[in-house]
Amino acid sequence: QIYLYQNEFVAKEALHISPEDRGYYFGDGLYEVIRVYNGKLYEAGPHFARLTRTAEALRIPLPFTEDELSAQLEKLIQVNELHEGSVYMQITRGAAPRSHPFPASAEPILMAYTTSYQRPVATLEEGITAVTTDDIRWLRCDLKTLNLLPNVMAKQHAMDQGAGDVIFHRSGTVTESSSSNVMIVKNNVIKTHPANNLILHGITRLVVLRLAKQEGIQLEEAAFTVDELLNADEVFITSTTAEVTPVIQIDGKAIGSGKPGPLTRQLQTAFEATIPSK
């Protein structure tokens, strides 16, 4: 397993990371996960745009251009002979003695690796269950930062309940899931939370927005309540790894017929058609 660390390709065992890395102390950094289908980065442009936007908001100067990073990630895919899976990359503010203010002289640190896995065919086919939980995160959920403790706690809460994932709400308004966006279907209209500061602006969400338009399905970027969620005809989540995954039961209540619905299926088919075959 070869990692990219700064500008070097290093075996995992040979990788030395400073204990003073601010990612380790403070979660002071950002990350991205880009899907790799057939050895190629999927929707790389929007992922790089989100990375740049987060870096600017966190005031972490990126030490490379998008083209340079893209070239390095492609090389990483090659050296690891990755066909199916994803690339994970993170950039921290740098390494310095522990102190809250930005260090005067710290260089941002890039680390990236690849993971090999297949498309989640079983859950794509059968769907998952979910439980609702309070969204206790901060008010910049649009930034893809390393601070994922609320998401980790929420996901474990779902596991403890025997559910596949959580669906977050703020005072009854559904935001998103622990690592995916949420969409509902009611009377053939899709609703999903607007891309503001309360959710991550998912790249798969964007793809689905585009596909809905292409398929002539009405879609509203509008907030909806937990009540609407539980009484929806269909519910699905979207993410880089989950693609378009049906949610068939929430808080023990069957959604619609308790099986993946027709619009979810239609979008899954449309999504599959966007996957490069070679």
Residues with active-site annotation? 144
Measured from the CB atom, the residue of 54 and 238 that comes closer to ligand PMP is: 238
Measured from the CB atom, the residue of 96 and 141 that comes closer to ligand PMP is: 141
How far is the C-alpha of 242 from the C-alpha of 253, rounded, in Å? 22
Task: Return the CA Rg of the chain.
Answer: 19
Measured from the CB atom, the residue of 96 and 245 that comes closer to ligand PMP is: 245
Measured from the CB atom, the residue of 96 and 242 that comes closer to ligand PMP is: 242
DSSP assignment letter at 253:
E
How far is the C-alpha of 125 from the C-alpha of 232, rounded, in Å? 19
Tokens of 112: 């990236």
User: What's the closest the beta carbon of residue 231 comes to ligand PMP, in angstroms?
Assistant: 23
Tokens of 79: 């050296």
User: What's the closest the beta carbon of residue 151 comes to ligand PMP, in angstroms?
Assistant: 6
Measured from the CB atom, the residue of 60 and 203 that comes closer to ligand PMP is: 203
Please tell me whether residue 191 adopts helix, strand or coil conformation: strand
Q: Which residue is nearest to ligand PMP, using beta carbons?
A: 202
**Burial classification of residue 190, based on how many CB atoms lie within 10 Å of its CB (0-12 exposed, 13-18 middle, 19 or more buried):** buried
Query: Largest alpha-carbon pair distance within the chain?
Result: 58
DSSP-H helix ranges across 116-178? 121-126, 149-160
197 and 170 in contact (C-beta within 8 Å)?
no
User: What's the closest the beta carbon of residue 11 comes to ligand PMP, in angstroms?
Assistant: 27
How far is the C-alpha of 162 from the C-alpha of 156, rounded, in Å? 10
- The DSSP line for 247-267 is EEEETTEEPTTSS--HHHHHH
User: What's the closest the beta carbon of residue 179 comes to ligand PMP, in angstroms?
Assistant: 4
Measured from the CB atom, the residue of 94 and 155 that comes closer to ligand PMP is: 155
Tokens of 224: 């909806």
User: What's the closest the beta carbon of residue 253 comes to ligand PMP, in angstroms?
Assistant: 23
How far is the C-alpha of 263 from the C-alpha of 272, rounded, in Å? 14
How far is the C-alpha of 247 from the C-alpha of 47, rounded, in Å? 25
DSSP assignment letter at 241:
T
Instruction: Write out the residues near ligand PMP by the rule CB under 6 A.
Output: 33, 176, 179-181, 200, 202-205, 238-240
